[in-house]
Amino acid sequence: MKSHEKIRKIREEKKWSQEELANKLGLSTNGYAKIERGETRLTLSRLFQLAEIFKLDIFELIQGDIQYMGERVASHINHECDLVVYSATEHQNLIQEIEKLKLIIQYQETLLAQQTRELNLAQKILAIYEQNIMD
């Protein structure tokens, strides 16, 4: 549970209206309502003020936020690890593709060399044939 949700729950358990708690905090009712809706970021001083009013330790108010942040960090780390694994796999696939392309180029170079030899031989045969015709 996030801090703003916990604050609302505690206020309701104490059967205080938003207006009553807003007065204790020195806020307008609308300003306090924004805290409960999570529309206003809670400052450390405001958290201490709320903890004092509720007679709680501040960590009881922010415990849910700490857990939420921990889950977000863990999720981010998992996502980054997935990207690293994907990148490593993709890298390996690219290396394999490059090796295949190198083999194709090598094969084509061999074919080209063979065709060049055959062409040279055909030109020599043609030259001999033309010389025999002229003689």
User: Which H, E and C letters describe 48-90, residue by residue?
Assistant: HHHHHHHCCCHHHHHHHHHHHHHHHHHHHHHHHHHHHHHHHHH
Q: How far apart are CA 20 and CA 3, in angstroms?
A: 19
Per-residue pLDDT of 77-89, as tens digits, reads 777 766 666 666 7
The full set of domains in the chain, from first to last, is 3-56 (1.10.260.40)
User: Each residue of 101-131: b (16+ CB within 10 Å) or e?
Assistant: eeeeeeeeeeeeeeeeeeeeeeeeeeeeeee
pLDDT of residue 84: 66
Q: What is the mean pLDDT of each run of 10 residues along the chain (135 residues)?
A: 85 94 94 91 87 86 67 70 68 82 88 94 92 84
